[in-house]
Amino acid sequence: MEIKNNNQSKNANADLEELILAYVFFYIKPEYFYPVLEIVNENHFFFRENKLVFLALKEALKQDMPLHPKTIRYLLKPSDFAHLADENLQKSRGLDQYFAKLMSNVELGVFHLDIYQLCMKLKDLFLRRRIDQYSHKTLKDIGNNALSTDEVLDSIEKNAVEVRKDSNFDSNLKCFQDVASEQYKEIQRLFKSEDKIPSGVSTGFSDIDKFIGGFAPSDLIILAGRPSMGKTGLALNIAVRASKVIYEMEIKRLLSESEKDGEEKISRKKQSILIFSLEMSSEQLANRVISMESGVNSFKMRTGRIKHEEMERVLQSERIVSNLGIDIDDTGALNINTMKSTARRLSLVKDVKLIIVDYLQLLSTGVSKKYGSREQEVSTITQGLKAIAKELKIPVLALSQLSRAVETREDKRPQLSDLRDSGSIEQEADLVMFIYREAYYKMNKQPKEGTQQHEQWQSEMSGIVNKAEIIIAKHRNGPVGTVSLHFDPDIVTFHTIDTHHS
């Protein structure tokens, strides 16, 4: 939606302010207002009527009242809106006129708006007004001969500090003592804990977690492999397992809080794993998850060729699947900026724990002609993925294809050099994992049946047919090496070998 700026003061935009208020009224629920409050306050609104409505929303929130115009209007004075009434109407109708215009935005629908960007734009306009205000004061001071040059410079510095405070430009600066103190607490927590997994997201695979310590906030993790290795399957397994761990932890928290009678209960956002699936539809992913949880082949389910016993297992899996906190965006031609916008919007209303992108090479910048080569564009996309991980403090797991150089080698195990054709993936990533299944290549070398070579081939295949190697090739904050998982090709499911298979 284009935000117009007609007949308005410099560095102020009434349409922008009204869209933000309309967004809150559209959703009504407090959880959609909290994210707005994290970015802007009433001082960021230039137009008095909008500022008053924003204050009324805050008061309604405080009193646990519905965030609806019918409720809010009773917290407002009609006289403050009298100037908005049409000439042929009574001044008391100004408030009605105001809400009629505001609700027209609500009726059009504002669900598609990037509220994060709108709030940041509102804040930016406020800062520009502040800079403009201080600029006029500086010019006045310069023309005041009663002030010394040092006094003028001191005034300019003070004004600059005030603007910086308002903009939170220094919000990324952290006192070393505070950071170190938090690390001491984390070290003590890990020392006392049983799983020894750092604060972050568990992959759901104990062997991988022990090796990498789970997915750390702000990390960019690359999971790469040649086609048909099981990249999407492993990523989906991680999403489901991580979601189960998160759900179990949330249940424990709620049970713990229910035992604390008389204490104030802490309201939290729902937790989520966000998947951007550029290749498969949400229905296909759901079918795969149901297959994983029920143990029934997904192709048989899609074609209805399942037995009564298998149907029972499918139905029994619904209870587990329905509790998975997973959100899917299956937009096909997705660009990195739209992806960032979606991630920001969801993180405003949910506690997003992990972002999965399937897969990196299908993303675009939206301005491909700007780049001299696809390699440069992929480099920009990778940098964008790392940027969103740092901005939202959420680990991003991006799947990636490998170059065909793998196929030309005797040993097909991937190497970091196989990523180099794709720009700066290796440089930007904090963790690079490859998935490799020797059986995939061995299957294509089946000798003629009845021969000694075929017997030897069968013997070798029996030892590797269900084996998948997860090769940790780069680990910025830990060791590299290989973890073996059991792979079930019928339901595209992975398991930790020690606990599930011998």
> Do both 271 and 345 map to the same domain?
yes
pLDDT in tens, 29-43: 777 887 888 888 898
Question: In terms of pLDDT, which residue wins out, 362 or 171?
Answer: 362
Q: Which helix (H) or strand (E) holds 321?
A: helix 318-321
> Do both 139 and 207 map to the same domain?
no
Domain encompassing residue 379: 200-257+267-431
What CA–CA distances, in Å, run from 162 to 43, 136, 143, 144, 243?
Answer: 14, 15, 22, 22, 43
Instruction: Assess if residue 32 is contained within a domain.
Output: yes
What is the per-residue pLDDT for 390? 87
Task: Fill in the amino acid letter for 170.
Answer: D
Neighbours of 180 (CB within 10 A): 10
pLDDT in tens, 46-102: 999 999 999 999 888 888 788 888 888 888 888 888 887 776 666 667 788 888 888
Instruction: Assess if residue 114 is contained within a domain.
Output: yes
Q: How confident is the model at residue 289 (pLDDT cuts 50, 70, 90)?
A: confident
Structure tokens at 115: 């509220």
| DSSP code string of 386-424 | HHHHHHHT--EEEEEE--GGGGGSSS----GGGGGGGSS
What is the per-residue pLDDT for 500? 45
> Do both 229 and 322 map to the same domain?
yes
Which of 484, 480, 408 lies closest to 226, judged by CA?
408
pLDDT in tens, 238-274: 999 888 888 777 777 777 666 655 554 444 668 888 9
> Do both 297 and 369 map to the same domain?
yes
What is the per-residue pLDDT for 186? 66
Residue 502, exposed/middle/buried by CB under 10 A (0-12, 13-18, 19+)? exposed
CA-to-CA distance for 76 and 84, rounded, in angstroms? 14
Q: Is the link from the previous residue into 359 a cis peptide, with omega within 30 of 0?
A: yes
Do the beta carbons of residue 312 and residue 335 sit within 8 Å? no
| Number of domains the chain is built from | 3
What CA–CA distances, in Å, run from 281 to 134, 174, 324, 328?
Answer: 53, 42, 18, 9
- Residue with the two structure tokens 């042929």: 88
pLDDT in tens, 187-203: 676 666 665 555 578 88
Instruction: Assess if residue 6 is contained within a domain.
Output: no
CATH code of the domain containing 119: 1.10.860.10
* DSSP assignment letter at 432: E
> Do both 353 and 288 map to the same domain?
yes
> Do both 245 and 115 map to the same domain?
no
Do the beta carbons of residue 277 and residue 285 sit within 8 Å? yes
Confidence (pTM) = 0.70
